[in-house]
């Protein structure tokens, strides 16, 4: 892996990519060229295989960041008269609610605290209270905090009631186990620049083929119509409209490395080791995680800000950056936090260096009271 002087991104997309992935972008591809279209087709097949969907699902790629694909999935799968339940425990769940509002799809919010999982039971009760609900949109790993929601249980409750299920699996796809053979999902949304470790610029939606076949005419938007993108691609092997060619080539290369590493289980093991090393090191410095370990995904960790009056995020960020690492600000409204991503082409050795950099930054900034205010008051 070549670093040069570039800092390591501890942000959950864009993230640090391997040299091979970067080098895969050194060619220009024609969108009509059969070699490029064969690359897209092989990529779509491999993406479906990540979630064991070969017999039932297809993958439809879409230009844009991940949010574009979430919006496209909701707009394509939910008919205009549909009604969407949104279990809400963080920033990306709130984004789903905003999308529904923009698209004119009725949404029912099921709010819960940001440190509490959405459970199958809660979803089942909400569905039984409001039988007019047609679909559930569930964020799998809520990247706002790093909480993992129990997708399998939620999918089972949806299926038992004949409700459609759209999953924002942006920050879990490729790392956390999702098996559509026993977890019924209509649409599973992810993107190039997350756990597959490609560069940002495209999303994709793994859709149940039977569901997708019934989606003609649902979408409010031409550019965001996944049904149209899929039927066009089937007819011509091409993307509708200019494809992000370099992003596709980088993702193809990144997925080759993913497969060579040992696929999804190996990726999860690497992220888990990085996450464990990070948390152990940070706790030894006095930091406290926002979430209890049992509901923490090995994707991104939210830490409470130190109680010390010398702490300012911008200053702390700059000091850590000078040592080669890019932290991520917190996304919580009620408590001051910052986040550290565990995903990208890094490992637990790098995480040891991250902890050292944080320790030096604390020392330089004169931050002695590292524990958050509440904990230090109790101590």
Ligand X SMILES: *Cc1c(COP(=O)(O)O)cnc(C)c1O
Q: Which residues bind ligand X (CB under 6 A)?
A: 12-13, 65-67, 70, 92, 139, 143, 168, 170-171, 191
Angle at 158 between CA 48 and CA 229, to 5 degrees: 40
Residue 68 has a CB neighbour count (10 Å cut-off) of 17
Q: How far is the CB of 368 from ligand X (least distance, A)?
A: 34
Q: How far is the CB of 169 from ligand X (least distance, A)?
A: 8
Q: How far is the CB of 93 from ligand X (least distance, A)?
A: 9
Q: Which residue is nearest to ligand X (CB)?
A: 66
Of 344, 305, 297, residue with least CA distance to 92: 297
Q: How far is the CB of 217 from ligand X (least distance, A)?
A: 26
In this structure, what token pair is assigned to residue 95? 């984004």
Q: How far is the CB of 129 from ligand X (least distance, A)?
A: 26
Nearer to ligand X, 301 or 367 (CB): 301
Nearer to ligand X, 170 or 279 (CB): 170
Q: How far is the CB of 92 from ligand X (least distance, A)?
A: 4
**Hunting for tokens 């109680």 — which residue is that?**
307
Nearer to ligand X, 195 or 278 (CB): 195
Residue 349 has a CB neighbour count (10 Å cut-off) of 11
In this structure, what token pair is assigned to residue 145? 């905090």
Nearer to ligand X, 189 or 215 (CB): 189
Q: How far is the CB of 310 from ligand X (least distance, A)?
A: 31
In this structure, what token pair is assigned to residue 31? 């969108």
Q: Are 174 and 264 in contact (CB under 8 A)?
A: yes
Nearer to ligand X, 346 or 361 (CB): 346
Q: What's the rounded Cα separation, in Å, for the pair 235 and 75?
A: 22
Nearer to ligand X, 71 or 153 (CB): 71
Nearer to ligand X, 156 or 189 (CB): 189
Q: How far is the CB of 66 from ligand X (least distance, A)?
A: 3
Q: What's the rounded Cα separation, in Å, for the pair 7 and 322?
A: 8
In this structure, what token pair is assigned to residue 118? 């959405």
Q: How far is the CB of 191 from ligand X (least distance, A)?
A: 6
Nearer to ligand X, 37 or 296 (CB): 296
Nearer to ligand X, 297 or 365 (CB): 297
Contacts for 167-170 with beta carbons within 8 Å, 24 or more apart? 167/137, 167/138, 167/139, 167/140, 168/70, 168/92, 168/96, 168/137, 168/138, 168/139, 168/140, 169/140, 169/141, 170/13, 170/66, 170/70, 170/92, 170/141, 170/143, 170/194, 170/203
């Amino acid at each position: 892996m070549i670093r040069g002087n570039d800092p390591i991104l501890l942000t959950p997309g864009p993230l640090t990519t391997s040299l091979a992935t970067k080098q895969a972008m050194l060619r220009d591809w024609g969108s009509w060229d059969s070699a490029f279209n064969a690359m897209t087709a092989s990529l779509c097949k491999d993406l479906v295989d990540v979630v064991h969907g070969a017999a039932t699902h297809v993958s439809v790629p879409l230009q844009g960041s991940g949010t574009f694909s979430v919006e496209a999935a909701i707009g394509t799968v939910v008919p205009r008269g549909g009604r969407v339940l949104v279990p809400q425990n963080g920033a990306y769940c709130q984004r789903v609610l905003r999308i529904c509002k923009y698209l004119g799809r009725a949404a029912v919010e099921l709010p819960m605290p940001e440190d509490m999982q959405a459970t199958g039971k809660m979803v089942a009760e909400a569905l039984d209270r409001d039988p007019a609900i047609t679909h559930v949109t569930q964020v799998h790993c809520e990247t706002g905090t790093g909480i993992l929601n129990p997708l399998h249980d939620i999918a089972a409750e949806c299926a038992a009631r004949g409700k459609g299920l759209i999953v924002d699996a942006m920050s879990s796809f490729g790392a956390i186990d999702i098996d559509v053979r026993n977890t019924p999902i209509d649409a599973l949304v992810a993107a190039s620049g997350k756990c597959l470790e490609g560069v940002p610029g495209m999303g994709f939606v793994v859709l149940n083929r039977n569901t997708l076949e019934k989606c003609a005419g649902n979408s409010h938007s031409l550019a965001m119509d996944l049904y149209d993108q899929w039927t066009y691609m089937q007819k011509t092997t091409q993307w509708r409209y200019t494809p992000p060619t370099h992003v596709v080539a980088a993702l193809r290369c990144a997925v080759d490395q993913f497969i060579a590493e040992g696929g999804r289980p190996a990726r999860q093991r690497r992220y888990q080791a990085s996450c464990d090393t990070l948390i152990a090191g940070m706790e030894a410095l006095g930091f406290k995680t926002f979430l209890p370990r049992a509901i923490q995904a090995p994707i991104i960790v939210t830490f409470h800000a130190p109680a010390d009056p010398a702490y300012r995020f911008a200053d702390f960020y700059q000091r850590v950056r000078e040592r080669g690492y890019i932290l991520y600000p917190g996304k919580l409204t009620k408590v001051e936090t910052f986040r550290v991503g565990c995903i990208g082409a890094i490992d637990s050795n790098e995480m040891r260096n991250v902890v050292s950099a944080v320790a030096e930054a604390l020392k330089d900034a004169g931050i002695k009271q590292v524990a958050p205010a509440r904990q230090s008051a109790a101590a």
